[in-house]
Structure 1
Amino acid sequence: MSTLRPNFLIFVTDQQRADHLGCYGNTQVRTPHIDGIAARGTVFERCYVASPACMPNRAAIMTGRMPGAAGARMNGVPLPLDSRTFADALREAGWRTALIGKSHLQNMTDFQPSWRQGEAADRPQARRDDRDSPAYEQESVVRWRDPDHAVRLPYYGFDHAELCLEHGDEVGGAYDRWLHARCPEADTLRGPDHALPGGKTAAPQAWRTALPEDLYPSAFVRDRAIDWLEDHAARGGQPFLLACSFPDPHHPFTPPGRYWDMYRPEDIELPATCGPATPADTPLKRALHEELVAGRRSTAGSRVIAVTQDEARAAIALNYGAITCIDDMVGAILARLQALDLARDTVVLFLSDHGDFMGDHGLLFKGPLHYRSVIRMPLIWADPQAGAGGRRADLASAIDIGPTILARAGLAAPHGTQGRDLAPAAAPAAARASVLVEEEGHRPMPGSGLPKVRTLVTPDWRLSVHAFEEWGELYDLREDPDERVNRWDDPACAAVRAELTLELVRAMARHADECPLPTRMA
């Protein structure tokens, strides 16, 4: 196969911090196979999300466009089916395309659209939209209860799609059918009501699953990916794109078998900032910690919560177990790729959709405080034709992933693409000057309102503007990499704040949608 038409094998994890990998400096979690990808390629030290939530950032990765431009600005707003993804471009150019695992480009729940307080539910929207049609129910856990329900292909550019829905050991979709075909009594082995004894943990949303390792969702991704690779090798003739998307290490934390107690909470090194809030912290961070102290927090759902150090250690230990489980699955897939003589023509990527506080600043899960633990994502690129590995690169964005894949395939990115080809980024002179992050949410925060945040990250600073708040965030990343001291109101940083605010406005203007093209003027 010509190196101008390489294969692409993409590993995606869900809600994983970049520094929960050995190749990013973690000395506790064991990830030898993922570290091996890094040793053969380039590690992007500071790749940032376009949005720190699943749906909008996955949409940004697929389209190379910021969530607002892509039309999937937040969780609960699916990516329009007429979007052009990098998978579409590869498919149209002759690549076989497949997705095994989590997609989350459409809603997985059947919740109705939410309304702001005081607005009538029958109030028409400002634009007509067909995203309440059956075409946007393809990832619905309710629809998948129908044994005849199937994904309509191609699905956002994938000719083959086997979906995992939701998280933990209660994943639905194609996985659920695969599981029951192998174990008809599977429902008696999963969920907190069927958990194994001896699973006491301080971690919120965690139970010791009775599912064996080879029936767990991560094993489904491994087995079906290997089956697909074997089928592809038998057919031959075309390059391929295979995305292996794991539902873990997202909560609830249910790593199977030996992975449950592979790491002991008492051995876990906590983030340097794990602890209670201080008077100098943002009002939102203080309100989250006040919930914990007053016993008013809810540990259900995905909203950010404050946690104790014991809870953080327990959650990290289970998270590490899930990550090592994934690493073993990645190793098995890579071994089969090698055995099928496909590795020499295959570009391998490893990434996550976003991070998790995981104890950082005494918080857990994700939310609209853009600390690096949440907005920084792992990105590893290993091209067998690129020479020696072990390279390191600096600033990158989730919207750069698709354009980089297309450039390596020799294809032009569609008009309206906002990301850039990262291939030159190995040279420091070609590095980005800044990265834009968008976040919008439908879940009010304690002591605050609905999140609407815009963040600018440069090599030296992180500025976050909260649309409905008087307060903001400004951190000197060189002097204060742990983001402990908010310089927003510091008179000594007034000029920096003004300069970065102007650059944030410019970045938002640069990332405004340019589709469709206008008619020509006389």
Structure 2
Amino acid sequence: MTQTNFLVLITDQHHADWLGCSGHPVVKTPNIDRLAQRGVRFSNFNVASPVCMPNRASLFTGRYPSVHGLRYNGCLLPQSANTFVDVLRQAGYATATIGKSHLQPFTARDATSFKDFEAGVIEEAWKPDAGDYGQEAPDRYDAAGRYTIRTPYYGFDHVDMVTAHGDRAGGHYQQWFKEQAPNWRELLDRANQLPHTYTCYQAYRTPIPEELYHTSYIRNQAADWLCRQADSEQPFFLFVSFPDPHHPFNPPGKYWDMYDPENFTVGTPYSAHTAPPPPLQYTREQFEQGRLPETPQIAFMAEDRHIREAMALSAGMITMIDDAIGGVLEALKQSGKYDDTVVLFTSDHGDYLGDSNLMLKGAWARPSINRVPFIWADPRAPRGLEDTALSSTLDIAPTILDRAGLRPYFGIQGRSLLPQLGGGHGREELLIEFNDSGYRMGFMNSPARVRTLLTDRWQLSVYHGQRWGELYDRHADPQQVNNVWDVPDYHPVRSELMERLMHQVIGTMDESPRANRQA
């Protein structure tokens, strides 16, 4: 019997509703839509954490950030951590990752948080880990040629690395880009951007042509790798990760002006909130004072015109990715492996993308950043269905292992989604963690620590050290503009949900490793 192959396609910072199959009225994603027609689209799929690095580590380990150790951006996934890719590799799979990994830091900038902590003779609670955690760092890719990553890299034997975003993407892609473009310095010089009329923050019209942009590079590298599997009897797992539609807003070539900003509608406005929570109030004050964020990664508020511009450019990046996915799927068909391959599509987190006039992502817990697309296209599963049950990025690892007929390791915290495909019940509640690495969105005394509990009807968010919280009725208030945390009639609901949240948090304790002897 032929073993099942797996192809995972993932975007970065992709609002769950921004797909044709999710009902978006403007964005064109025909290839992803066909995947949904071939499989099951999960419309209530949520992250373990709405931050790049922690959620990617949760995807690979099936464990919460507070357990696997990569709690916020700038940390790293310990090389002692097992991933489900390790399990596949041990079972004989060929394993490859092409594109963004982000399980280790990929900038050379020092962290700015926790600088007020004065360490003693010993600085940290853990002894230093002697592993090599600079394999995504920019200096590794400065030299000509191709930097060789030590493998297996979290289970992957083949690694084609793309780091960072936009026209500043690095890694193996950067080395290839410099070889392909003798004028690469001119193409990377911001002074040479192409003419345009956009004025939104971080809109930049790159002179890099489409065929040299990282989305095209990832498409071509993935297609080549798949073609090499045509004559192999070995099953494979391929992870294809696109850095877009993450900001900056700079789709290349025809994708820049593919969409008209006037065709987009800004969602729930700031003014709709009956009692804006402190992070939203703080960001509004910054906006009214004309202050831009200290770094490009911090959430900010924008006027409607600028949001529509960012939407149009984000749509261009999404359609470019969709076109690239079409090329990858065509290569899969040409390899003869299409009918034996499960294809997954998801994203690492969402984007406010105009929600309450905000852009990017941050400590304020919202469905726009917590909910992500997820499609499971399986030759042996139902087709063209929508699954509305609560599910999580944590569930990807155990679901793939279940489909491959392999037992997960002890300590995995996700659950297989395969029983749901057969009509089984989903989760009754779901925990989402958020840990910030800096003082942002008005959190002045310490970086934000947020725990959110989702049920079919309710969203409860608790902010560590704060006297306020959030409680929303997801049925009566789907836009979540009426916070009933302090409304007396809802105190019994709040108490019940707080107790359920407490049990969820207690349940995240790391059970691994098991005791090997009696005390």
Q: TM-score, normalised by structure 2?
A: 0.96
Amino acid corresponding to residue 427 of structure 2 in structure 1: R
Q: How far 1:122 sits from its partner (Å)?
A: 6.0
What is aligned with 1:259? 255
The match for 1:280 among 268, 275, 279 is 275
- SS in structure 2 at match of 1:511: coil
Aligned position for 1:144: 141
Structure 2 counterpart of 1:470: 467
- Shift in Å, 1:425: 1.7
Question: 4+ runs of 1 displaced by more than 4 Å?
Answer: 276-279
Residue in 1 that maps onto 2:210: 213
Aligned partner of 1:401 among 372, 387, 396: 396
- Partner Cα distance (2:415, 2:46) in 1: 14
Q: What per-residue deviation string (whole Å, max 9, x for no partner) do you get for residues 348-406 of structure 1?
A: 00000000000001100000111100000111000012243334342101100010000
Range that drifts further, 397-406 or 379-388: 379-388
Is 1:178 aligned with 2:176? yes
Alpha-carbon shift at residue 108 of structure 1 (Å): 0.7
* Structure 1 gaps, min length 5: none
Q: CA deviation at 1:436?
A: 0.6
Distance 1:424 1:215 in 2: 43
In the alignment, residue 166 of structure 2 is paired with which amino acid?
G
Q: Which residue of 2 aligns with 1:426?
A: 421
Taking the aligned partners of 2:448 and 2:382, their CA distance within structure 1 comes to: 44
1:135/1:411 Cα in 2 relative to 1: closer, same or farther (>3 Å)? same
- Superposition deviation, residue 116 in structure 1: 2.7
Question: Aligned residue for 1:268?
Answer: 264
The TM-score, its normalising length taken from structure 1, stands at 0.96
User: 1:191, CA displacement in angstroms?
Assistant: 4.8
Residue 513 of structure 2 corresponds to 516
Matched, 1:443 2:438: yes
Whole-Å separation in 1 of the counterparts to 2:131 and 2:306: 41
Output the amino acid matched with 1:190: L
Q: Structure 1 residues 146 and 123 mapped into 2: Cα distance closer, same or farther (>3 Å)?
A: farther
Task: Give the match's secondary structure for 1:189.
Answer: helix
Residue 294 (structure 1) aligned with residue 292 (structure 2): no
**What does the per-residue CA deviation read over 1:135-174, in whole Å, with 9 as the maximum and x for residues that have no partner?**
1000011232144643111110010001111000111100
5 Å matches for 1:34-73? 34-73=32-71
Deviation, structure 1 residue 200: 2.5
Q: How far, CA to CA, are the matches of 1:328 and 1:391 in structure 2?
A: 23
Letter in 2 for 1:179: F
SS of residue paired to 1:435: strand
Equivalences, count: 516
Question: Is 1:326–2:321 an aligned residue pair?
Answer: yes
Displacement, 1:134? 6.6
- CA gap 1:420/1:155 in 2 versus in 1, 3 angstroms: same
* Distance of aligned partners of 1:393 and 1:238 in 2 relative to their CA distance in 1, 3 Å threshold: farther
Contact 1:22 1:30 in 2 (8 A): yes
- The separation in 1 between residues aligned to 2:439 and 2:193, in whole angstroms, is 33
Indicate if the aligned counterparts of 1:65 and 1:419 stay in contact, CA closer than 8 A: yes
- Cα shift at 1:120: 2.0
Residues 261 and 321, structure 1, Cα contact 8 Å, conserved in 2: yes
Counterpart CA distance in 1 for 2:366 and 2:89 is 37
Q: Does 1:167 align with 2:162?
A: no
Offset of 1:127 from its aligned partner? 2.3
Alpha-carbon displacement from aligned partner over 1:259-306 (angstroms, at most 9, x marks no partner)? 0011111111221x1344756110110110110001123274211111
Distance in 2 (alpha carbons) for counterparts of 1:123 and 1:28: 58
Pair 1:299–1:259, CA change in 2 (3 A): farther
Structure 2 residue aligned with 1:15: 13
The separation in 2 between residues aligned to 1:268 and 1:483, in whole angstroms, is: 21
CA distance in 1 between counterparts of 2:50 and 2:127 reads 25
Residues 229, 335 of structure 2: 8 Å contact kept: no
445-454 vs 487-496, greater mean Cα deviation: 445-454
Kept in 2: contact 1:79–1:106 (CA 8 A): yes
Secondary structure (helix, strand or coil) at the match of 1:252 reads coil
Q: Say if 2:84 is the partner of 1:89.
A: no
Single out whichever of 459-468 and 279-288 deviates more from structure 2. 279-288
User: Is this contact kept in 2: 1:393–1:426, CA < 8 A?
Assistant: no
What's the Cα RMSD here? 1.7
Are the counterparts in 1 of residues 113 and 438 from structure 2 also a CA contact under 8 Å? no
Equivalent in 387, 391, 398 of residue 392 of structure 1: 387
- Counterpart amino acid of residue 509 in structure 1: I
Identity, % of aligned positions: 42
SS in 1 for 2:168: coil
Deviations 1:24-59 (A, max 9, x none): 111110000001000110111111110000000000
Q: Which runs of 5+ in 2 are unaligned?
A: none
- Structure 1 residue 427: Cα displacement: 5.2
Deviation of 1:440 (Å):
0.7
Partner residue of 1:30 out of 25, 28, 31? 28
Q: For the residues of structure 2 that align with 1:428 and 1:312, how far apart are their CA atoms?
A: 40
Contact kept in structure 2, 1:276 and 1:362, CA below 8 Å: no
Matched, 1:231 2:199: no
Q: Which is worse superposed, 318-327 or 339-348?
A: 339-348
